[in-house]
Amino acid sequence: MPLSLAQLRRNYTLYGLRDDLAQDDPLVLFGQWLDQARKTEVPPVEANSMALATVDSQGHAHCRILLLKGFSAEGFFFFGHYQSAKGEELASNPHAAMTFFWPGLERQVRIEGPVVRADAQLSDDYFDARPAASQLGAWASPQSQPLSHRSELESRLRDVTERFAGQQPPRPEHWGGYRLQPQRIEFWQGRPDRLHDRLDYRLHAGTWQRTRLAP
C-alpha cells in the first residue's frame, strides 16, 4: 500500500522560543533567525525564499515564492515586474503577507502589512547590481503575460540583447522593488507533541506588542 500522507508525522524537537529570551524588537529576532537559517539550511533551500500572498480586486487570494532581498526598520524588500499579476494585485490592494519556512530549524515566520513601491533609487541600485543576464531577462520577460511559445521569449531576449549591446541596460520602468511595512510578525518554533511556540508581534502606535498564541 502506498504511504498515506496522513501517516507522515514529524516531531519537532530542535529548539524552543522562550518569552524571557525573545527580543522586544521582532526585526532583531527576524535577523537572528534568518542568519541562522542561512548557516544551517542545506541547499537547495534558499534561506531568503518566502511565500508572498496577495489579494486581487475580487477578493481572491494568490500566493507564490519570491526572494527577500533585504529588510530594515523601513520594511521587507522584494523585486519583480510591476505589471505582473502580483503587481496588478498590489496596485489594487496594496497589502500582502509573506511566510518563511526554515525546515532545518523547524521554524516559520509570518509577516503582514501594507506594501508600497520601493524608492526608484533603491530599485536602480539593486538592478545595477544584478548579473547582466538577469538585467536583460527583466527587459525581455513580460512577467505573467501569456507566451505563444518559449521561442517568443527567446526572440524577445535576442532583441533586447541586440538593443543593449555594449552598454549596461538601465532599469526598465516596469520592474522594481516593493517594501512591505510590517504591522504583524509572528514567529513559530516547532516543539514536541505539537505544543509549538508562537510569539505574535503587533505594531500599535509605533510600538511592538508581543503576545503568545496557542499552537
Q: Is 143 in the site for ligand FMN (CB under 6 A)?
A: yes
Which span (13-21, 62-70, 103-111, 161-169) binds ligand FMN, by CB under 6 A? 62-70
**How far is residue 38's CA from residue 25's CA, in Å, rounded to a whole number?**
21
93 near ligand FMN (CB under 6 A): no
Stretch that binds ligand FMN, among 8-16, 74-82, 98-106, 134-142 (CB under 6 A): 74-82
Q: What minimum distance in Å lies between the beta carbon of 52 and ligand FMN?
A: 8
Q: Which is nearer to ligand FMN, 88 or 200 (CB)?
A: 88
Distance CA 91, CA 39 (A): 36
Residue 28 or 91 with smaller CB distance to ligand FMN: 91
For ligand FMN, the closer of residues 22 and 55 by Cβ is 55
85 binds ligand FMN (CB under 6 A): yes
Tell me how far, at minimum, the Cβ of 79 lies from ligand FMN, in Å.
6
Q: Quick one: cell of 88?
A: 496588478
Check: CB of residue 4 under 8 Å from CB of residue 94.
Answer: no
Instruction: Name the E strands within 169-206.
Output: 175-180, 184-189, 197-204
**Nearest-angstrom CA–CA distance, 182 and 167:** 38
Instruction: Compute the least distance from the CB of residue 83 to ligand FMN, in Å.
Output: 9
Least distance (Å) from ligand FMN to the CB of residue 73?
Answer: 22
> Could you tell me if 178 and 87 are in contact, meaning their C-beta atoms sit under 8 angstroms apart?
no
Q: Cβ distance 47 to 37 under 8 Å?
A: yes
Among 62, 158, 194, 212, binds ligand FMN (CB under 6 A): 62
80 is a contact residue toward ligand FMN (CB under 6 A):
yes
- Residue 109 has phi, psi (to 5 degrees) of -130, 130
Q: Return the ∠ at Cα 7 (arms to 33 and 14), rounded to 5°.
A: 25
Q: Which residues are catalytic?
A: 194
Up-side HSE of residue 113: CA atoms within 13 Å toward CB?
Answer: 21
| Contacting range for ligand FMN; rule: CB under 6 A; set: 1-9, 16-24, 82-90, 103-111 | 82-90
83 CB neighbour count, 10 Å cutoff: 16
Is 77 a binder of ligand FMN (CB under 6 A)? no
Q: Which positions touch ligand FMN (CB under 6 A)?
A: 46, 49, 62, 64-67, 78-80, 84-86, 143-144
